[in-house]
Structure 1
Amino acid sequence: MMKCVFVTVGTTSFDELIERMSAQESLRIFKSLGYSRLTLQIGRGTVVPEPFSTESFTLDVYRYKDSLQEDLQRADLVISHAGAGSCLETLEKGKPLVVVVNEKLMNNHQLQLAKQLHKEGHFFCCTCSMLPGLLQSMDLSTLKCYPPGQPEKFSAFLDKVVGLQK
């Protein structure tokens, strides 16, 4: 069976993540972990890796789709920016998730959200520079399942994090 990694940045641009994921070092790591397909959803980024396909590995690249459902469904591992929508959608699908925090964003409410869900053991969280090491050392079986279908709890939590409610 073909194991697939899906990287998503949502509607934003996160060139550092896309650059890091399409670098030879990352491709080597993915192959060594048994993955044979990498799909990059690059949003409005300026880094546009060249798609390729060899006998052992395929790299797909696109900007946007109406829905990420198909890619999430197919993914064995999701690497995402810390956007609430992307994180929640992935967790509700029960997919292993690595959230990469964009350190270049100021007043990063994404970081608070990511830290909390990471603390609860639902996904791994790191920065771009820590990602290669994390990919090689993480144990996906230690992740806790996120209880699906509780959007009101999530939105209350989000409101608290971004300071809309005490």
Structure 2
Amino acid sequence: MGDSDDGIKSERTVFVTVGTTCFDALVKAVDTQEFKKELSARGYTHLLIQMGRGSYFPKKSTGEDGSLVVDYFIFSSSIADNLRSASLVISHAGSGSIFETLRLRKPLIVVVNEDLMDNHQSELAEELAERKHLFCAHPQTLFQTVASMNLESLLPYHPGDAAPVAKLINRFLGFPDD
């Protein structure tokens, strides 16, 4: 995806979602000039931030000066369209957001919210990163993760097949095999 024949750059959006939580550290991390310049250098044209219950409002930009177009919103009844149209997703570590993004086969960086107590979500993100389905970062390491990421190294996520487990349970309960 590059420039088209008429010189207009194709739109490449980075979608950031914090879910329903307050995750100002993530919103602040993507709202720095350094971060936005890195996204532009990597060919991204738009940054759309779903900021949840946060109190930090990122700086909007129309991109008229050739910089990244930046916009944000608080909540949406569904972020499915945002995920579908994104070229890269940066998400909090909520399992719903993670698996919905992976199911759509979108490159994903999961940012762990260290302010949450007993954050079991980070274990999921770290395990999926180890399996090379996504990148895992913290707010303070997000810039470095984007600067060094190789999207070609990510492997598609294939959900497990529950049929063998269901057959075993049915057999145990005395139901006939189909």
Deviations 1:51-94 (Å, cap 9, x if unpaired)?
22023321110011111111111110000000101101100000
Partner of 2:52: 43
Structure 1 CA distance, aligned partners of 2:135 and 2:18? 16
> In the comparison of the two structures, how many residue pairs are matched?
152
Structure 1 CA distance, aligned partners of 2:96 and 2:87? 19
Partner of 2:41: 32
SS at match of 1:18: helix
Q: 1:133 aligns with which of 115, 124, 144?
A: 144
The code of the aligned residue for 2:125 comes to A
Partner of 2:29: 20
Trace 1:113-152 onto structure 2 (pairs within 5 A).
Answer: 113-148=124-159, 150=160
Structure 2 CA distance, aligned partners of 1:70 and 1:24? 27
The reply to whether residue 64 of structure 1 matches residue 72 of structure 2 is no
Partner of 2:122: 111
Structure 2 CA distance, aligned partners of 1:37 and 1:151? 36
**Going by fraction, where is strand more abundant, 1 or 2?**
1
The reply to whether residue 87 of structure 1 matches residue 101 of structure 2 is no
Structure 2 CA distance, aligned partners of 1:152 and 1:53? 47
Q: Structure 1 length as normaliser, TM-score?
A: 0.87
Greater gyration radius: 2
Structure 1 CA distance, aligned partners of 2:105 and 2:124? 18
Structure 2 CA distance, aligned partners of 1:151 and 1:20? 37
Structure 2 CA distance, aligned partners of 1:152 and 1:67? 27
Deviation at 1:152, TM superposition (A): 5.9
The code of the aligned residue for 2:43 comes to G
SS at match of 1:5: strand
Structure 2 CA distance, aligned partners of 1:109 and 1:133? 24
On the 8 A contact 2:63/2:70 being kept in 1, the answer is no
Q: For structure 1, which runs of at least 5 residues remain unmatched after alignment? A: 154-166
Structure 2 CA distance, aligned partners of 1:151 and 1:65? 31
SS at match of 2:111: strand
Identity of aligned residues (%): 42
Partner of 2:3: none
Partner of 1:77: 88
Structure 1 CA distance, aligned partners of 2:32 and 2:162? 39
SS at match of 1:53: coil
